[in-house]
Amino acid sequence: MEDFKRLEEIAKTIRRNILTMLNKAGSGHSGGSLSITDILVALYFGGIMKYDAKRPNWEDRDRLVLSKGHACPALYATLAEVGFFDKELLWTLRQLGSPLQGHPDSKKLPGIEASTGSLGNGISQAVGMALAARVLKKKYNVFCIVGDGEMQEGLVYEALMAAGHYKLSNLIVIVDNNGLQIDGQCKDVMNIYPLKEKFEAFNFRTYEMSGHIYKNIMDTLTTAKRNVVSPTAVIARTVKGMGVSFMENRVEYHGVAPSDEELEKALKELE
Amino acid sequence: MEKKATREAYGKALIEIGKDEKVVVLDADLSGSTKSSEFKKVYPDRFFNMGIAESNMVDVAAGMALSGLKPYASSFAVFISGRAFEPVRQSICYQNLNVVLCGSHSGISVGEDGGSHQAIADISLMRSLPNMKVFVPADYNEAYNIVLATVKMEGPVYIRTSRAKSPIITEDKNFESGKAAVLKSGNDVSLIACGMMSYIALEAALLLKQDGIDVEVINSPSIKPLDEETVYKSAKKTKRVFTIEEHSVIGGLGSAVSEFLSENLPVYVHKIGIEDTFGESGTKDDLFCKFGFTKEAVAKRIKDRLNG
Ligand SMILES: Cc1ncc(C[n+]2csc(CCOP(=O)(O)OP(=O)(O)O)c2C)c(N)n1
Ligand SMILES: [Mg+2]
């Protein structure tokens, strides 16, 4: 119980940093960053992922691939919080010369495992990493966060097919099922449901969880890591814009940064 | 003259470089055609068939490279440069990864399968991407040595191989990126070629010799980086440059040579290739006749241009 409280407090800090960096940048993706914050906090602060911020290239580390790369502010804020790089860098987001590019760049920032941004490519690269562990005789896990709108990309299903075929039990795909994309609700733009059955059809063991209740996230991801026979999918029920009342479930906040006024209001809510 | 296909060299060379345990090979249900199946026979644990899913294959190769492996991924040139272009751009080139892509069945020499399967723009597509190197071997020996050389090379590489057998015209020697070779020196005209066209260029040069035209034939397997020094020297001497390739005249070797010369030594350049059109079904030889890839047609074209 204590520990979940700790994670919630960390998530508040990270949400504040996300909104502040987006505000300073003047552009970027608010909604989808806030919807994955709790999942990232569980992965990096809850003991789910094995990593060493001082050795970003440690061969045995678990990997996280943010396939929905546009939500990188959440990843940047998390990586900074665990010490992959100086927190001051957060305020350079999207500026010329900053390693914090508009979408994650593995060549520029420690802790970024794969360059993503073009939806669909991240999950396939994650499959490659999981398969590489087999050749290298390593035990690491690969976590991959995909958007629910991203599930419309055909490439995703090529990746799932390969993961199922090669029985990549070290691969854990987490779907940020916030129900929204850019042009509206996923079910209206291009229906992606049912999701669970899709994953199961590709021979994934599939779980559903809340993406914001720490006990639920921790229990599910801990169970997911134990799977040794097949890849695992975790469909996380999330709220786009989570934590900021006026952004929650609002498609308008997909790709806009908070104004000064909005930032002030949001930071108050996250005190 | 001994004839062998460059794709056969790809398979044979993979076995050789497979001694390095970091080498993994991927294919998309065409391993028998690209010859990556040769590797599978010797190193089944490091061969991965990714099914008919070229985009995913390229991204998986990227993920493997990010994990410290040295992936070689192959399919038909038309698919690996076309269907998988986006992952090649976003994952392989953008991250400057150590991945070698091989497109077999390039150009119209594919033959009977027809235009849907004949890559005519793959050099152009691959060449336009930052970090990508593009190699087009003239024959079996060159293809073999290119593959060996790529093991130690940093960054992405595209190797273009062919289905058809062709004469062996180069020596079995180490390949160097960015190096072209003068196959026959001459003073009147430079003829820069790659792939199977290098042999045809040599043959055409012999015909032109009879007409008193002294052609310098250059084999340029490294389209990117281009051997600018060799091109410059030859162009400076002859002041008339022809290029020939089994590829569209838009964006391939001819374009690379033109881009370089127009900025550094503006001379007459004429590109011989596929004239902004698709291929079609037929035997390789019939297609080569139709598209002007015979020694007679090439010699005539050069003569006409020199006279006109
Ligand atoms: C291949 C590709 N097409 C289009 C886009 C533009 N784009 C960026 S985010 C987005 C919507 C993503 O929706 P979803 O996956 O549900 O993400 P989230 O709701 O978590 O923000 C789109 C279409 C892109 N980045 N990549
Ligand atoms: Mg969404």
pLDDT score of A1 more than 80: no
A149 lines ligand 1 (CB under 6 A): yes
Query: How close B29 gets to chain A, by Cα (Å)?
Result: 13
What total of structural domains would you count in chain B? Answer: 2
- B70-84, pLDDT tens digit by residue? 999 999 999 999 999
| pLDDT of amino acid A47 | 96
Query: How close B179 gets to chain A, by Cα (Å)?
Result: 29
Instruction: List, in sequence order, the alpha helices (H) in chain B.
Output: 6-17, 31-34, 37-42, 54-66, 77-81, 85-87, 122-127, 140-150, 197-210, 228-238, 253-264, 284-290, 295-307
Enumerate the residues of chain A whose CB falls inside 8 A of the CB of residue B56: 124, 127, 155, 158-159, 161-162
Match 């050789």 to its residue by tokens: B16
Same domain, B52 and B112: yes
A109 lines ligand 1 (CB under 6 A): no
Nearest partner of B298 among B199, B208, B204, judged by Cα:
B204
- Structure tokens given for B99: 């991945």
Same domain, B112 and B52: yes
A190 lines ligand 1 (CB under 6 A): no
- Report the CATH number that the domain containing residue B282 is assigned in CATH: 3.40.50.920
**Average pLDDT of chain A?**
97
Match 């180069």 to its residue by tokens: B170
Query: How close A21 gets to chain B, by Cα (Å)?
Result: 25
Question: Which of residues B167, B191, B211 is at a domain's end?
Answer: B167
Question: Which of residues B103, B133, B167 is at a domain's end?
Answer: B167
Question: pTM value?
Answer: 0.96
Same domain, B240 and B270: yes
Q: How far is the CA of B260 from the centre of ligand 2 (A)?
A: 47
Helices A31-45 and A214-226 meet at what angle, rounded to 10? Answer: 60
- Specify if B175 maps to a domain: no
Please identify, by atom number, the ligand 1 atom nearest to the C-alpha of residue A71: 21
User: Collapsing DSSP states into helix, strand and coil, what is residue B80?
Assistant: helix
A16 lines ligand 1 (CB under 6 A): no
Mutational test site, ligand 1, from A35, A181, A188, max ligand atoms within 8 Å of CB: A181
Q: Let me know the angle formed at the C-alpha of B73 by B69 and B74, rounded to the nearest 5 degrees.
A: 165
**What range defines the domain where residue B214 resides?**
181-307
| Residue B191 contacts residue B272 (beta carbons within 8 Å) | no
User: Collapsing DSSP states into helix, strand and coil, what is residue B111?
Assistant: coil
User: Percentage of residues in chain A with pLDDT exceeding 70?
Assistant: 99
The secondary structure of chain A, three-state, reads CHHHHHHHHHHHHHHHHHHHHHHHHCCCCCHHHHHHHHHHHHHHHCCCCCCCCCCCCCCCCCEEEECCHHHHHHHHHHHHHCCCCCHHHHHHCCCCCCCCCCCCCCCCCCCCCCCCCCCCHHHHHHHHHHHHHHHHCCCCCEEEEEECHHHHCHHHHHHHHHHHHCCCCCEEEEEEECCECCCCEHHHHCCCCCCHHHHHHCCCEEEEEECCCHHHHHHHHHHHHHCCCCCEEEEEECCCCCCCCCCCCCHHHCCCCCCHHHHHHHHHHCC
How far apart (Å, rounded) are the C-alpha atoms in residues B306 and B12? Answer: 42
Beta-carbon neighbours within 5 Å of ion ligand 2 = A 147-149, 178, 180
Helices A2-25 and A72-81 meet at what angle, rounded to 10? Answer: 120
Same domain, B160 and B33: yes
Asked if A135's CB is within 8 angstroms of B86's CB, the reply is: no
- Structure tokens given for A125: 């690269």
A119 lines ligand 1 (CB under 6 A): yes
Same domain, B280 and B139: no
- B205-259, pLDDT tens digit by residue? 999 999 999 999 999 999 999 999 999 999 999 999 999 999 999 999 999 999 9
Q: Residue A59: is it exposed, middle or buried by C-beta count within 10 angstroms (0-12/13-18/19+)?
A: exposed
pLDDT score of B278 more than 60: yes
Same domain, B25 and B95: yes
Asked if B96's CB is within 8 angstroms of A107's CB, the reply is: yes
pLDDT score of A2 more than 70: no
- B36-53, pLDDT tens digit by residue? 999 999 999 999 999 999
Nearest partner of A43 among A81, A13, A16, A17, judged by Cα:
A81
Same domain, B18 and B154: yes
Question: Residue of the nearest CA to atom 9 in ligand 1?
Answer: A70
Q: How far is CA B258 from the centre of its chain?
A: 18
Same domain, B162 and B123: yes
Please identify, by atom number, the ligand 1 atom nearest to the C-alpha of residue A69: 25
Asked if A129's CB is within 8 angstroms of B67's CB, the reply is: yes
Please identify, by atom number, the ligand 1 atom nearest to the C-alpha of residue A121: 1
Residue B243, H or E segment: strand B240-248
How far apart (Å, rounded) are the C-alpha atoms in residues B272 and B257? Answer: 12
Query: How close A194 gets to chain B, by Cα (Å)?
Result: 23
Question: Residue of the nearest CA to atom 18 in ligand 1?
Answer: A32
Q: How many CA atoms lie within 13 A of B34 on its CB side?
A: 28
- B120-133, pLDDT tens digit by residue? 999 999 999 999 99
C-alpha distances in Å from residue A36, one per residue of A61, A146, A258, B44, B276: 21, 10, 18, 39, 48
| pLDDT of amino acid A173 | 98
What total of structural domains would you count in chain A? Answer: 1
Same domain, B135 and B193: no
Catalytic residue flag (residue B54): yes
| Residue B90 contacts residue A117 (beta carbons within 8 Å) | yes
**Average pLDDT of chain B?**
98
Same domain, B218 and B119: no
ipTM above 0.95, yes or no: no
Of A65, A136, A162, nearest to B60 by CB-CB distance is A162
Asked if A166's CB is within 8 angstroms of B66's CB, the reply is: no
Of B45, B50, B66, nearest to A106 by CB-CB distance is B66
**What range defines the domain where residue A34 resides?**
2-269
Enumerate the residues of chain B whose CB falls inside 8 A of the CB of residue A65: 63
How far apart (Å, rounded) are the C-alpha atoms in residues A112 and A63? Answer: 9
- B92-150, pLDDT tens digit by residue? 999 999 999 999 999 999 999 999 999 999 999 999 999 999 999 999 999 999 999 99
Q: β-pairing, B133-135 with A63-66?
A: unpaired
Q: β-pairing, B240-248 with B189-193?
A: parallel
A103 lines ligand 1 (CB under 6 A): no
Substitution target from B58, B66, B72 for chain A, most A beta carbons within 10 A: B66
Mutational test site, ligand 1, from A70, A151, A192, max ligand atoms within 8 Å of CB: A70
Query: How close B73 gets to chain A, by Cα (Å)?
Result: 12
Mutational test site, ligand 1, from A182, A187, A239, A242, max ligand atoms within 8 Å of CB: A182
Nearest partner of A244 among A18, A7, A81, judged by Cα:
A18
Q: For residue B185, name the pLDDT band (cuts at 50, 70, 90).
A: very high
- A73-108, pLDDT tens digit by residue? 999 999 999 999 999 999 999 999 999 999 999 999
- A9-29, pLDDT tens digit by residue? 999 999 999 999 999 999 999
Considering B54, B203, B216, B246, which one is annotated as catalytic? B54
Q: For residue B1, name the pLDDT band (cuts at 50, 70, 90).
A: confident
Same domain, B193 and B83: no
| DSSP 8-state code for residue B108 | G
- Span between the terminal Cα atoms of chain B, in Å: 35
Q: How far is the CA of A115 from the centre of ligand 2 (A)?
A: 20
Same domain, B152 and B56: yes
Q: β-pairing, B222-224 with B133-135?
A: antiparallel
Question: Which of residues B143, B167, B191 is at a domain's end?
Answer: B167
- Report the CATH number that the domain containing residue A136 is assigned in CATH: 3.40.50.970
- Structure tokens given for B22: 């970091």
The CA radius of gyration of chain A, in Å to the nearest whole number, is 17
Residue B179 CB coordination number (10 Å): 16
